């Protein structure tokens, strides 16, 4: 089994509508820690606009986090106006399947975004 991300970017905001369309991605599962918020728990500058822009282009977004700190996830979700699933137990399938049903999209049209390859962006080829 080989683990690897399909795309590596420095910042979540580097994900463009063009990149998503090129890869037939219609939904994103977003991690919180070190993806939407920094080490100091601050939402990355420009993230609100980035989320709003993608949603206006028809991209479905959902926070999928392993944290059991519900208040942290709720705060980020509220500020970015996104639905969320916490305590997802990634990389196990259950959280991903729940998010897939929530987004009403097929797995081939969803990308997972995060900073940890073994939990957030695990992919088997």
Instruction: Give the Cα separation of 125 and 98 in Å (integer).
Output: 22
Q: Mind listing the domains of the chain with CATH numbers? A: 12-113 (3.40.50.1000)
| Percent of the chain scoring above 70 in pLDDT | 89
Note the pLDDT of residue 121: 52
Q: Does residue 91 have a cis bond before it (omega within 30 degrees)?
A: yes
Note the pLDDT of residue 119: 59
Average pLDDT in the chain: 87
Instruction: Give the Cα separation of 55 and 87 in Å (integer).
Output: 24
Q: What is the pTM of this model?
A: 0.87
What are 97-122's pLDDT values in tens digits? 999 999 999 999 999 898 876 655 55
Task: Report which of residues 35 and 62 the model is more confident about.
Answer: 62
């Amino acid at each position: 089994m080989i683990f690897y991300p399909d795309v590596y970017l420095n910042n979540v905001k580097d994900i463009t509508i063009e990149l998503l369309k090129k890869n037939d991605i219609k939904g994103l599962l977003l991690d919180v820690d070190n993806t939407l918020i920094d080490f100091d728990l601050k939402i990355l500058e420009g993230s609100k606009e980035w989320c709003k822009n993608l949603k206006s282009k028809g991209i479905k977004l959902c926070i999928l986090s392993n944290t059991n700190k519900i208040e942290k996830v709720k705060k980020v979700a509220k500020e970015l106006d996104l639905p969320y699933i916490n305590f997802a137990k990634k990389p196990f399938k259950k959280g991903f399947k729940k998010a897939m049903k929530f987004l009403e999209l097929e797995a081939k049209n969803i990308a997972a975004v995060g900073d940890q390859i073994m939990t957030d962006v695990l992919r088997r080829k």
